[in-house]
Amino acid sequence: MKPWIHIALPKGRLGEKAYGMLKAAGYPCPAIEDPGRKLIFENPDLGVRYFWVKPSDVSIYVERGAADLGIVGKDILLEYQPDVYELADLGIGKCRMAVAGKKDFRDPVGQTLKVATKFPNITRGYYAGKCRDIDIIHLNGSIELAPILGLSHVIVDIVETGTTLRENDLQVYEQIVTISARLIANVASYQFKDEAVNRVLGCLEKQKEDVK
Amino acid sequence: MKTEAVWKTEEQAVFSLRRLYRSYGYGPYKLSKFEEYELYVRNKDFLVSDQIITFSNGSGRLMALKPDVTLSIVKNAPDEPGVVRKVYYNENVYRDYREILQTGLECVGDLGEYEIAEVVLLAVKSLALLGQDYILNLSHMGLVAAVLSACGITGPEGRRAMDCLRRKNLHELERLCRGREGAWEKLRVLAESRGGGQVLDRIRSVLTTGAERQALEELQDLWKVLETSGCGGSIRLDFSVGSDLGYYSGVVFRGYLAGIPTGILSGGQYDKLARKMGKRCRAIGFAIYLNQLDQSEKENSLDVDTLILHDGRTDTAILTAAAQEAAREGSVLVTTTLPSDRHWGRLIRMEGGQSQ
Protein backbone atom coordinates (compact mmCIF):
# COMPACT_ATOMS: atom_id res chain seq x y z
CA MET A 1 0.00 0.00 0.00
CA LYS A 2 1.24 3.46 -0.83
CA PRO A 3 1.97 5.60 2.24
CA TRP A 4 -0.32 8.57 2.79
CA ILE A 5 1.20 11.99 2.31
CA HIS A 6 -0.05 14.71 4.66
CA ILE A 7 0.32 18.25 3.41
CA ALA A 8 -0.16 21.37 5.56
CA LEU A 9 -1.34 24.38 3.58
CA PRO A 10 -1.25 27.96 4.90
CA LYS A 11 -4.74 29.50 5.16
CA GLY A 12 -5.26 32.40 2.80
CA ARG A 13 -4.23 33.49 -0.66
CA LEU A 14 -0.81 31.82 -0.62
CA GLY A 15 -2.31 28.48 0.41
CA GLU A 16 -4.92 28.66 -2.33
CA LYS A 17 -2.24 29.41 -4.90
CA ALA A 18 -0.10 26.57 -3.57
CA TYR A 19 -3.04 24.15 -3.71
CA GLY A 20 -3.59 25.32 -7.31
CA MET A 21 0.00 24.30 -8.09
CA LEU A 22 -0.39 20.93 -6.36
CA LYS A 23 -3.64 20.32 -8.20
CA ALA A 24 -2.06 21.13 -11.55
CA ALA A 25 0.92 18.97 -10.58
CA GLY A 26 -1.38 15.94 -10.29
CA TYR A 27 -2.47 16.07 -6.65
CA PRO A 28 -6.06 17.36 -6.79
CA CYS A 29 -8.50 16.92 -3.92
CA PRO A 30 -12.03 17.85 -5.02
CA ALA A 31 -13.32 17.95 -1.43
CA ILE A 32 -11.11 20.94 -0.63
CA GLU A 33 -12.86 23.06 -3.22
CA ASP A 34 -16.27 22.76 -1.51
CA PRO A 35 -16.80 25.57 0.95
CA GLY A 36 -17.48 24.31 4.46
CA ARG A 37 -16.04 23.99 7.90
CA LYS A 38 -14.12 20.78 7.42
CA LEU A 39 -10.50 20.91 8.46
CA ILE A 40 -9.07 17.86 6.72
CA PHE A 41 -9.53 16.89 3.08
CA GLU A 42 -8.37 13.71 1.45
CA ASN A 43 -8.07 12.05 -1.91
CA PRO A 44 -7.76 8.31 -1.14
CA ASP A 45 -6.95 7.40 -4.76
CA LEU A 46 -3.78 9.50 -4.63
CA GLY A 47 -3.09 8.87 -0.94
CA VAL A 48 -2.92 12.57 -0.20
CA ARG A 49 -4.46 14.45 2.71
CA TYR A 50 -4.53 18.24 2.99
CA PHE A 51 -5.25 20.52 5.91
CA TRP A 52 -5.35 24.28 6.34
CA VAL A 53 -3.43 25.80 9.23
CA LYS A 54 -2.42 29.29 10.29
CA PRO A 55 0.54 30.27 8.03
CA SER A 56 2.94 30.73 10.94
CA ASP A 57 2.01 27.25 12.28
CA VAL A 58 2.82 25.29 9.09
CA SER A 59 6.43 24.75 10.10
CA ILE A 60 5.36 23.46 13.54
CA TYR A 61 3.06 20.85 12.00
CA VAL A 62 5.83 19.72 9.68
CA GLU A 63 8.68 19.81 12.19
CA ARG A 64 6.71 17.68 14.64
CA GLY A 65 5.59 15.22 11.99
CA ALA A 66 1.83 15.93 11.96
CA ALA A 67 2.38 16.82 8.30
CA ASP A 68 4.94 15.26 5.96
CA LEU A 69 5.04 18.29 3.71
CA GLY A 70 4.06 21.92 4.06
CA ILE A 71 3.99 25.13 2.09
CA VAL A 72 5.38 28.05 4.04
CA GLY A 73 6.83 31.51 3.47
CA LYS A 74 10.61 31.88 3.84
CA ASP A 75 9.89 34.57 6.48
CA ILE A 76 8.48 31.90 8.82
CA LEU A 77 11.50 29.65 8.22
CA LEU A 78 13.91 32.50 8.96
CA GLU A 79 12.01 33.56 12.06
CA TYR A 80 11.49 30.15 13.69
CA GLN A 81 14.43 28.17 12.23
CA PRO A 82 12.54 24.85 12.30
CA ASP A 83 14.51 21.65 11.77
CA VAL A 84 12.97 20.66 8.42
CA TYR A 85 14.13 20.00 4.86
CA GLU A 86 13.55 22.96 2.56
CA LEU A 87 13.01 21.13 -0.71
CA ALA A 88 11.97 23.81 -3.17
CA ASP A 89 11.42 27.49 -3.79
CA LEU A 90 7.96 27.50 -5.36
CA GLY A 91 8.41 31.00 -6.75
CA ILE A 92 4.98 32.14 -5.52
CA GLY A 93 4.07 34.54 -2.74
CA LYS A 94 7.03 36.72 -3.63
CA CYS A 95 7.63 39.71 -1.39
CA ARG A 96 10.44 41.18 0.71
CA MET A 97 11.28 41.72 4.34
CA ALA A 98 12.18 45.37 4.75
CA VAL A 99 12.79 48.21 7.16
CA ALA A 100 10.23 50.99 6.68
CA GLY A 101 9.57 54.31 8.38
CA LYS A 102 7.86 57.66 8.00
CA LYS A 103 8.83 59.67 4.93
CA ASP A 104 10.66 62.24 7.04
CA PHE A 105 12.46 59.55 9.05
CA ARG A 106 16.09 60.24 10.03
CA ASP A 107 17.98 57.43 11.74
CA PRO A 108 18.60 58.62 15.33
CA VAL A 109 22.14 57.24 15.34
CA GLY A 110 22.85 58.69 18.78
CA GLN A 111 20.12 56.69 20.49
CA THR A 112 18.59 53.23 20.65
CA LEU A 113 16.49 52.53 17.56
CA LYS A 114 12.93 51.46 18.40
CA VAL A 115 11.74 48.80 15.96
CA ALA A 116 8.20 47.41 15.81
CA THR A 117 7.84 43.99 14.22
CA LYS A 118 6.15 40.59 14.07
CA PHE A 119 9.55 39.05 13.40
CA PRO A 120 11.77 39.66 16.46
CA ASN A 121 14.39 37.02 15.56
CA ILE A 122 14.94 38.25 12.02
CA THR A 123 15.06 41.84 13.31
CA ARG A 124 17.52 41.00 16.09
CA GLY A 125 19.81 39.14 13.66
CA TYR A 126 19.72 41.92 11.07
CA TYR A 127 20.60 44.72 13.49
CA ALA A 128 23.16 42.60 15.36
CA GLY A 129 24.97 42.28 12.03
CA LYS A 130 25.13 46.09 11.91
CA CYS A 131 26.06 46.42 15.61
CA ARG A 132 23.06 48.70 16.07
CA ASP A 133 21.48 48.96 19.50
CA ILE A 134 17.74 48.39 19.15
CA ASP A 135 14.62 48.07 21.24
CA ILE A 136 12.25 45.50 19.73
CA ILE A 137 8.54 46.16 20.10
CA HIS A 138 6.83 42.85 19.35
CA LEU A 139 3.41 43.45 17.76
CA ASN A 140 1.02 40.94 16.24
CA GLY A 141 -0.67 43.06 13.60
CA SER A 142 -1.16 46.57 12.13
CA ILE A 143 2.59 47.11 12.42
CA GLU A 144 2.34 50.21 10.19
CA LEU A 145 0.61 52.10 12.99
CA ALA A 146 3.67 52.02 15.24
CA PRO A 147 5.80 54.73 13.55
CA ILE A 148 2.73 56.86 12.79
CA LEU A 149 1.79 56.98 16.46
CA GLY A 150 5.39 57.39 17.58
CA LEU A 151 5.50 53.95 19.19
CA SER A 152 8.60 53.10 17.16
CA HIS A 153 11.09 54.78 14.84
CA VAL A 154 10.81 52.09 12.16
CA ILE A 155 9.12 48.77 11.42
CA VAL A 156 10.49 45.52 10.07
CA ASP A 157 7.78 43.83 8.06
CA ILE A 158 6.80 42.08 4.87
CA VAL A 159 6.28 44.39 1.93
CA GLU A 160 4.41 43.02 -1.06
CA THR A 161 3.27 45.89 -3.28
CA GLY A 162 4.00 48.77 -0.91
CA THR A 163 0.45 50.12 -1.19
CA THR A 164 -0.28 50.01 2.56
CA LEU A 165 2.98 51.83 3.22
CA ARG A 166 2.30 54.52 0.63
CA GLU A 167 -1.25 55.12 1.83
CA ASN A 168 0.11 55.72 5.32
CA ASP A 169 2.99 57.98 4.27
CA LEU A 170 5.59 55.36 5.01
CA GLN A 171 8.41 54.16 2.82
CA VAL A 172 10.97 51.37 2.60
CA TYR A 173 14.48 52.30 3.76
CA GLU A 174 16.37 49.03 3.64
CA GLN A 175 15.65 45.61 2.24
CA ILE A 176 16.60 42.72 4.53
CA VAL A 177 15.80 39.67 2.43
CA THR A 178 13.52 38.53 -0.39
CA ILE A 179 10.77 36.07 0.51
CA SER A 180 8.84 33.42 -1.40
CA ALA A 181 6.94 30.23 -0.61
CA ARG A 182 8.93 27.07 0.09
CA LEU A 183 8.04 23.39 0.08
CA ILE A 184 9.24 21.90 3.37
CA ALA A 185 9.37 18.29 4.56
CA ASN A 186 9.57 16.55 7.92
CA VAL A 187 13.07 15.15 8.22
CA ALA A 188 12.05 11.72 9.54
CA SER A 189 9.10 11.11 7.25
CA TYR A 190 11.36 11.98 4.32
CA GLN A 191 13.49 8.96 5.26
CA PHE A 192 10.59 6.54 4.97
CA LYS A 193 8.50 8.23 2.28
CA ASP A 194 11.29 9.63 0.13
CA GLU A 195 9.87 8.20 -3.10
CA ALA A 196 6.42 9.69 -2.56
CA VAL A 197 7.86 13.02 -1.39
CA ASN A 198 10.24 13.25 -4.33
CA ARG A 199 7.36 12.48 -6.71
CA VAL A 200 5.43 15.47 -5.33
CA LEU A 201 8.60 17.57 -5.54
CA GLY A 202 9.32 16.51 -9.12
CA CYS A 203 5.75 17.28 -10.24
CA LEU A 204 5.86 20.70 -8.53
CA GLU A 205 9.24 21.57 -10.08
CA LYS A 206 7.84 20.69 -13.51
CA GLN A 207 4.73 22.74 -12.79
CA LYS A 208 6.98 25.69 -11.86
CA GLU A 209 8.82 25.47 -15.17
CA ASP A 210 5.55 25.20 -17.12
CA VAL A 211 4.32 28.37 -15.44
CA LYS A 212 7.54 30.17 -16.43
CA MET B 1 2.43 -11.99 32.25
CA LYS B 2 5.81 -11.75 30.57
CA THR B 3 8.41 -9.84 32.56
CA GLU B 4 9.07 -7.48 29.66
CA ALA B 5 5.46 -6.37 29.59
CA VAL B 6 5.84 -4.51 32.89
CA TRP B 7 8.77 -2.46 31.62
CA LYS B 8 8.24 0.86 30.03
CA THR B 9 9.47 1.18 26.44
CA GLU B 10 12.43 3.23 27.64
CA GLU B 11 13.44 0.65 30.21
CA GLN B 12 13.21 -2.20 27.73
CA ALA B 13 15.34 -0.23 25.32
CA VAL B 14 17.99 0.51 27.94
CA PHE B 15 18.19 -3.16 28.86
CA SER B 16 18.50 -4.53 25.34
CA LEU B 17 20.96 -1.83 24.27
CA ARG B 18 23.13 -2.50 27.30
CA ARG B 19 23.23 -6.19 26.40
CA LEU B 20 24.27 -5.30 22.84
CA TYR B 21 27.06 -2.95 23.90
CA ARG B 22 28.40 -5.39 26.49
CA SER B 23 28.53 -8.12 23.85
CA TYR B 24 31.00 -5.97 21.91
CA GLY B 25 33.22 -5.34 24.93
CA TYR B 26 31.90 -1.89 25.93
CA GLY B 27 31.96 -1.23 29.65
CA PRO B 28 29.55 0.93 31.66
CA TYR B 29 30.58 4.51 32.36
CA LYS B 30 28.91 6.32 35.22
CA LEU B 31 29.26 10.07 35.23
CA SER B 32 28.66 12.57 37.95
CA LYS B 33 25.74 14.93 37.44
CA PHE B 34 27.96 18.00 37.51
CA GLU B 35 30.88 19.19 35.44
CA GLU B 36 32.77 22.47 35.53
CA TYR B 37 30.94 25.05 33.45
CA GLU B 38 34.17 26.14 31.81
CA LEU B 39 34.33 22.88 29.82
CA TYR B 40 31.08 23.78 28.06
CA VAL B 41 31.96 27.41 27.48
CA ARG B 42 35.14 26.36 25.71
CA ASN B 43 33.23 23.95 23.48
CA LYS B 44 29.95 25.80 23.14
CA ASP B 45 29.45 24.97 19.46
CA PHE B 46 29.69 21.25 20.14
CA LEU B 47 26.55 21.36 22.25
CA VAL B 48 23.06 20.95 20.85
CA SER B 49 21.68 23.70 23.09
CA ASP B 50 23.33 26.63 24.83
CA GLN B 51 20.80 26.68 27.66
CA ILE B 52 22.98 25.28 30.43
CA ILE B 53 21.84 25.08 34.05
CA THR B 54 24.58 26.31 36.36
CA PHE B 55 25.25 26.40 40.09
CA SER B 56 28.05 27.75 42.23
CA ASN B 57 29.63 25.09 44.41
CA GLY B 58 30.87 25.63 47.96
CA SER B 59 34.18 27.10 46.84
CA GLY B 60 32.57 29.48 44.37
CA ARG B 61 33.36 27.51 41.22
CA LEU B 62 30.65 27.58 38.58
CA MET B 63 29.32 24.07 37.93
CA ALA B 64 26.87 22.91 35.27
CA LEU B 65 24.24 20.18 35.31
CA LYS B 66 25.54 18.02 32.45
CA PRO B 67 24.05 19.05 29.10
CA ASP B 68 26.21 16.48 27.32
CA VAL B 69 28.12 13.30 28.03
CA THR B 70 30.64 13.18 25.18
CA LEU B 71 32.74 16.14 26.34
CA SER B 72 33.33 14.57 29.74
CA ILE B 73 34.34 11.23 28.20
CA VAL B 74 36.71 12.78 25.67
CA LYS B 75 38.24 14.95 28.39
CA ASN B 76 39.21 11.77 30.23
CA ALA B 77 40.14 9.75 27.12
CA PRO B 78 43.40 7.75 27.06
CA ASP B 79 46.11 9.31 24.92
CA GLU B 80 48.67 6.50 24.62
CA PRO B 81 49.48 4.60 21.44
CA GLY B 82 47.55 1.36 21.05
CA VAL B 83 45.07 2.11 23.85
CA VAL B 84 41.35 2.25 23.09
CA ARG B 85 38.59 2.84 25.63
CA LYS B 86 35.12 1.52 24.83
CA VAL B 87 32.31 2.69 27.07
CA TYR B 88 28.53 2.96 27.08
CA TYR B 89 26.40 5.16 29.29
CA ASN B 90 22.83 5.72 30.26
CA GLU B 91 22.46 9.19 31.72
CA ASN B 92 20.07 12.05 32.11
CA VAL B 93 21.30 15.21 30.44
CA TYR B 94 19.84 18.68 30.93
CA ARG B 95 19.02 20.92 27.99
CA ASP B 96 16.68 23.89 27.78
CA TYR B 97 15.59 23.17 31.36
CA ARG B 98 14.46 19.67 30.44
CA GLU B 99 15.75 16.32 31.61
CA ILE B 100 16.52 14.02 28.69
CA LEU B 101 17.36 10.35 29.07
CA GLN B 102 20.21 9.60 26.76
CA THR B 103 21.99 6.35 26.16
CA GLY B 104 24.98 5.90 23.93
CA LEU B 105 28.50 4.78 23.50
CA GLU B 106 31.89 6.30 22.91
CA CYS B 107 35.01 4.70 21.51
CA VAL B 108 38.06 6.86 22.22
CA GLY B 109 41.83 6.46 21.94
CA ASP B 110 44.12 5.10 19.26
CA LEU B 111 41.35 4.13 16.81
CA GLY B 112 41.73 2.27 13.55
CA GLU B 113 39.36 1.48 10.71
CA TYR B 114 37.91 -1.45 12.62
CA GLU B 115 36.67 0.69 15.51
CA ILE B 116 35.00 3.17 13.15
CA ALA B 117 33.15 0.37 11.36
CA GLU B 118 32.22 -1.27 14.67
CA VAL B 119 30.60 1.89 16.03
CA VAL B 120 28.57 2.48 12.84
CA LEU B 121 27.45 -1.16 12.89
CA LEU B 122 26.45 -0.85 16.54
CA ALA B 123 24.41 2.23 15.64
CA VAL B 124 22.50 0.18 13.06
CA LYS B 125 22.09 -2.73 15.47
CA SER B 126 20.80 -0.30 18.14
CA LEU B 127 18.11 0.97 15.76
CA ALA B 128 17.16 -2.63 14.93
CA LEU B 129 16.56 -3.25 18.62
CA LEU B 130 14.27 -0.22 18.91
CA GLY B 131 11.98 -0.76 15.93
CA GLN B 132 11.36 -2.78 12.80
CA ASP B 133 11.43 0.04 10.33
CA TYR B 134 14.61 2.09 10.66
CA ILE B 135 17.12 3.99 8.56
CA LEU B 136 20.61 5.27 9.27
CA ASN B 137 21.77 8.22 7.16
CA LEU B 138 25.53 8.26 6.73
CA SER B 139 27.77 11.10 5.58
CA HIS B 140 31.45 11.94 5.77
CA MET B 141 32.46 15.39 6.98
CA GLY B 142 35.97 15.03 5.57
CA LEU B 143 34.48 14.54 2.12
CA VAL B 144 32.01 17.41 2.49
CA ALA B 145 34.79 19.72 3.75
CA ALA B 146 37.10 18.71 0.90
CA VAL B 147 34.41 19.33 -1.73
CA LEU B 148 33.52 22.74 -0.25
CA SER B 149 37.15 23.78 -0.14
CA ALA B 150 37.73 22.54 -3.72
CA CYS B 151 34.78 24.77 -4.72
CA GLY B 152 36.39 27.73 -2.93
CA ILE B 153 33.48 27.98 -0.48
CA THR B 154 34.93 28.68 2.97
CA GLY B 155 34.34 30.73 6.13
CA PRO B 156 30.82 32.13 6.61
CA GLU B 157 29.84 30.98 3.11
CA GLY B 158 31.03 27.48 3.98
CA ARG B 159 28.67 27.51 6.95
CA ARG B 160 25.83 28.71 4.73
CA ALA B 161 26.58 25.94 2.23
CA MET B 162 26.57 23.38 5.06
CA ASP B 163 23.22 24.73 6.17
CA CYS B 164 21.83 24.36 2.63
CA LEU B 165 23.12 20.78 2.45
CA ARG B 166 21.60 20.00 5.83
CA ARG B 167 18.19 21.31 4.72
CA LYS B 168 18.36 19.74 1.25
CA ASN B 169 17.96 23.30 0.05
CA LEU B 170 19.25 23.10 -3.51
CA HIS B 171 17.78 26.41 -4.68
CA GLU B 172 19.87 28.47 -2.27
CA LEU B 173 22.93 26.26 -2.71
CA GLU B 174 22.80 26.99 -6.43
CA ARG B 175 22.68 30.72 -5.76
CA LEU B 176 25.68 30.38 -3.44
CA CYS B 177 27.66 28.62 -6.18
CA ARG B 178 27.09 31.37 -8.77
CA GLY B 179 30.35 32.79 -10.06
CA ARG B 180 32.36 29.77 -8.95
CA GLU B 181 33.26 27.58 -11.86
CA GLY B 182 32.32 23.93 -11.47
CA ALA B 183 31.01 24.40 -7.91
CA TRP B 184 27.33 23.80 -8.63
CA GLU B 185 27.98 20.68 -10.73
CA LYS B 186 29.90 19.18 -7.84
CA LEU B 187 27.73 20.27 -4.93
CA ARG B 188 24.55 19.38 -6.76
CA VAL B 189 25.66 15.75 -7.00
CA LEU B 190 26.56 15.75 -3.31
CA ALA B 191 23.24 17.36 -2.30
CA GLU B 192 21.00 15.25 -4.53
CA SER B 193 22.60 11.87 -3.96
CA ARG B 194 20.90 9.50 -1.59
CA GLY B 195 21.11 5.73 -1.53
CA GLY B 196 23.56 2.86 -1.44
CA GLY B 197 26.93 2.15 -3.06
CA GLN B 198 25.92 3.63 -6.44
CA VAL B 199 26.04 7.06 -4.77
CA LEU B 200 29.81 6.68 -4.35
CA ASP B 201 30.26 6.05 -8.09
CA ARG B 202 28.20 9.13 -8.94
CA ILE B 203 30.25 11.29 -6.61
CA ARG B 204 33.58 9.92 -7.82
CA SER B 205 32.80 11.13 -11.33
CA VAL B 206 32.75 14.80 -10.23
CA LEU B 207 35.69 14.86 -7.79
CA THR B 208 38.88 16.61 -8.85
CA THR B 209 41.27 17.05 -5.92
CA GLY B 210 43.39 14.56 -3.99
CA ALA B 211 41.81 15.48 -0.66
CA GLU B 212 38.33 14.75 -2.04
CA ARG B 213 39.40 11.38 -3.43
CA GLN B 214 41.13 10.40 -0.20
CA ALA B 215 38.00 11.10 1.84
CA LEU B 216 35.85 9.25 -0.67
CA GLU B 217 38.13 6.21 -0.45
CA GLU B 218 37.78 6.22 3.32
CA LEU B 219 34.00 6.27 2.98
CA GLN B 220 34.10 3.60 0.31
CA ASP B 221 36.18 1.25 2.47
CA LEU B 222 33.70 1.70 5.30
CA TRP B 223 30.75 1.16 2.98
CA LYS B 224 32.23 -2.15 1.80
CA VAL B 225 32.47 -3.40 5.38
CA LEU B 226 28.92 -2.29 6.17
CA GLU B 227 27.58 -3.96 3.06
CA THR B 228 29.42 -7.23 3.72
CA SER B 229 28.09 -7.29 7.27
CA GLY B 230 24.53 -7.27 5.93
CA CYS B 231 23.57 -3.81 7.19
CA GLY B 232 23.79 -2.00 3.86
CA GLY B 233 20.05 -2.26 3.23
CA SER B 234 19.13 0.03 6.11
CA ILE B 235 21.89 2.60 5.54
CA ARG B 236 21.53 5.52 3.13
CA LEU B 237 24.48 7.60 2.07
CA ASP B 238 23.01 11.06 2.44
CA PHE B 239 25.11 14.22 2.76
CA SER B 240 22.42 16.20 4.52
CA VAL B 241 23.69 14.72 7.80
CA GLY B 242 25.61 17.81 8.73
CA SER B 243 27.54 18.61 11.84
CA ASP B 244 29.94 21.33 12.87
CA LEU B 245 33.04 21.12 10.69
CA GLY B 246 35.05 22.45 13.61
CA TYR B 247 34.50 19.26 15.61
CA TYR B 248 33.57 16.48 13.23
CA SER B 249 36.13 15.14 10.82
CA GLY B 250 35.08 11.73 9.49
CA VAL B 251 31.82 9.82 9.33
CA VAL B 252 28.66 11.34 10.78
CA PHE B 253 25.31 9.59 10.97
CA ARG B 254 21.74 10.02 12.11
CA GLY B 255 19.19 7.29 12.77
CA TYR B 256 15.43 7.38 12.29
CA LEU B 257 12.61 5.07 13.37
CA ALA B 258 9.32 4.99 11.46
CA GLY B 259 6.64 6.81 13.44
CA ILE B 260 9.01 9.11 15.32
CA PRO B 261 9.10 12.59 13.78
CA THR B 262 12.69 13.49 14.66
CA GLY B 263 15.98 11.67 14.53
CA ILE B 264 16.46 9.30 17.45
CA LEU B 265 20.16 8.53 17.06
CA SER B 266 22.95 10.94 16.33
CA GLY B 267 26.66 10.34 16.15
CA GLY B 268 29.95 10.69 14.37
CA GLN B 269 33.68 10.87 14.49
CA TYR B 270 34.93 13.94 16.31
CA ASP B 271 38.72 13.78 16.33
CA LYS B 272 38.86 17.58 16.19
CA LEU B 273 37.16 17.83 19.58
CA ALA B 274 39.99 15.78 21.06
CA ARG B 275 42.53 18.05 19.30
CA LYS B 276 40.87 21.11 20.83
CA MET B 277 41.35 19.52 24.23
CA GLY B 278 45.04 19.09 23.48
CA LYS B 279 44.82 15.35 22.87
CA ARG B 280 46.16 13.27 20.03
CA CYS B 281 43.54 10.53 20.38
CA ARG B 282 40.64 9.95 18.00
CA ALA B 283 37.03 9.56 19.02
CA ILE B 284 33.74 8.26 17.65
CA GLY B 285 30.42 7.69 19.33
CA PHE B 286 26.69 8.14 19.22
CA ALA B 287 23.77 9.02 21.46
CA ILE B 288 20.21 7.73 21.43
CA TYR B 289 17.44 10.01 22.66
CA LEU B 290 15.25 7.52 24.46
CA ASN B 291 12.66 10.10 25.47
CA GLN B 292 11.61 10.15 21.80
CA LEU B 293 10.40 6.57 22.16
CA ASP B 294 7.33 7.76 24.12
CA GLN B 295 5.90 8.96 20.86
CA SER B 296 5.79 5.48 19.36
CA GLU B 297 3.97 3.92 22.30
CA LYS B 298 0.66 2.37 21.36
CA GLU B 299 -2.39 4.26 22.40
CA ASN B 300 -5.39 2.60 24.06
CA SER B 301 -3.32 -0.15 25.62
CA LEU B 302 -4.70 -1.60 28.87
CA ASP B 303 -3.50 -0.22 32.17
CA VAL B 304 -4.64 -3.32 34.01
CA ASP B 305 -5.82 -6.77 32.88
CA THR B 306 -8.43 -7.40 35.58
CA LEU B 307 -10.43 -4.96 37.64
CA ILE B 308 -12.05 -6.37 40.80
CA LEU B 309 -14.87 -4.10 41.91
CA HIS B 310 -16.28 -4.76 45.37
CA ASP B 311 -18.78 -2.95 47.59
CA GLY B 312 -16.72 -2.85 50.79
CA ARG B 313 -18.69 -5.70 52.40
CA THR B 314 -16.76 -8.48 50.71
CA ASP B 315 -14.65 -10.61 53.01
CA THR B 316 -10.99 -9.59 52.84
CA ALA B 317 -9.81 -13.20 52.60
CA ILE B 318 -12.04 -13.82 49.56
CA LEU B 319 -10.88 -10.59 47.94
CA THR B 320 -7.25 -11.47 48.60
CA ALA B 321 -7.65 -14.90 47.05
CA ALA B 322 -9.36 -13.47 43.97
CA ALA B 323 -6.69 -10.77 43.59
CA GLN B 324 -3.86 -13.29 43.95
CA GLU B 325 -5.36 -15.52 41.31
CA ALA B 326 -5.86 -12.61 38.90
CA ALA B 327 -2.31 -11.34 39.53
CA ARG B 328 -0.87 -14.74 38.60
CA GLU B 329 -2.35 -14.37 35.11
CA GLY B 330 -1.78 -10.68 34.64
CA SER B 331 -2.20 -7.41 36.47
CA VAL B 332 -5.08 -6.65 38.80
CA LEU B 333 -6.55 -3.61 40.51
CA VAL B 334 -8.91 -4.03 43.48
CA THR B 335 -11.23 -1.08 43.96
CA THR B 336 -14.62 0.02 45.23
CA THR B 337 -15.27 2.52 42.42
CA LEU B 338 -14.76 2.30 38.67
CA PRO B 339 -11.68 4.45 37.95
CA SER B 340 -12.24 7.00 35.18
CA ASP B 341 -8.57 7.28 34.28
CA ARG B 342 -7.76 3.60 33.68
CA HIS B 343 -8.48 1.07 30.95
CA TRP B 344 -9.03 -2.54 31.99
CA GLY B 345 -9.67 -5.82 30.24
CA ARG B 346 -11.86 -8.04 32.47
CA LEU B 347 -14.18 -6.69 35.15
CA ILE B 348 -15.12 -8.86 38.17
CA ARG B 349 -17.85 -7.46 40.41
CA MET B 350 -18.01 -8.79 43.97
CA GLU B 351 -21.04 -7.99 46.04
CA GLY B 352 -21.13 -9.22 49.58
CA GLY B 353 -19.11 -12.42 49.40
CA GLN B 354 -20.17 -13.35 45.89
CA SER B 355 -18.57 -12.68 42.55
CA GLN B 356 -20.98 -12.03 39.72
- pLDDT tens digit string along A30-44? 888 877 778 899 999
Reference B75, options B106, B97, B104; nearest CA is: B106
A189/B261 Cβ within 8 A: yes
Residues B205 and B326 in one domain: no
Out of B263, B280, B298, a domain closes at B298
Residues B311 and B294 in one domain: no
Number of inter-chain CB pairs under 8 A, A vs B = 45
pLDDT tens figures, B239-266 = 999 777 778 889 999 999 998 999 999 9
Predicted complex ipTM exceeds 0.95: no
pLDDT tens figures, B148-173 = 999 999 888 999 999 999 999 999 99
Out of B266, B283, B298, a domain closes at B298
Tell me what pLDDT residue B78 has: 87
Out of B283, B298, B313, a domain closes at B298
Domain of B329?
A: 303-355
Whole-Å CA distances, B80 to A171, B69, B102, B113:
66, 22, 29, 17
Q: Cα Rg for chain B, rounded, in angstroms?
A: 26
Tell me what pLDDT residue B356 has: 57
Under the banding of pLDDT at 50, 70 and 90, the label for residue B335 is: very high
B344-351: strand order across its sheet: B332-335, B304-310, B344-351, B354-355
Reference A169, options A195, A196, A148; nearest CA is: A148
Tell me what pLDDT residue B297 has: 53
Average pLDDT, chain B: 88
Given CB atoms, is A194 within the 8 Å cutoff of chain B? Answer: yes
CA–CA separation, B157 and B163 (whole Å):
10
Residues B37 and B133 in one domain: yes
CA–CA separation, A146 and B334 (whole Å):
64
CA–CA separation, B79 and B77 (whole Å):
6
Q: How far is A148 from chain B (nearest CA, A)?
A: 36
Whole-Å CA distances, B300 to B98, B303, B304:
27, 9, 12
The low-confidence residues of chain A, meaning pLDDT below 70, are: 1, 210-212
Residues B176 and B218 in one domain: yes
pLDDT over 50 (residue B63): yes
B133/A85 Cβ within 8 A: no
CA–CA separation, B146 and B203 (whole Å):
13
Average pLDDT estimate for B89-110: 90
Q: How far is A180 from chain B (nearest CA, A)?
A: 12
Reference A180, options A161, A163, A160, A210; nearest CA is: A160
CA–CA separation, B63 and B242 (whole Å):
30
Give B-chain residues touching A88 at CB under 8 angstroms. Answer: 170-171
- CA B39, B43, B46 angle in degrees (round to 5)? 130
Non-local CB neighbours of A196 within 8 Å, separated by 6+ positions: A2, A3, A5, A47
Under the banding of pLDDT at 50, 70 and 90, the label for residue B300 is: low
pLDDT over 50 (residue B4): no
Residues B108 and B35 in one domain: yes
Tell me what pLDDT residue B314 has: 86
Residues B18 and B62 in one domain: yes
Under a CB-based contact definition with an 8 Å cutoff, are residues B35 and B47 in contact?
no
| Tally of domains within chain B | 2
DSSP string computed for B265-295: EEEEE-HHHHHHTT---EEEEEEEEGGGGGG
A85/B240 Cβ within 8 A: yes
Q: Cα Rg for chain A, rounded, in angstroms?
A: 19
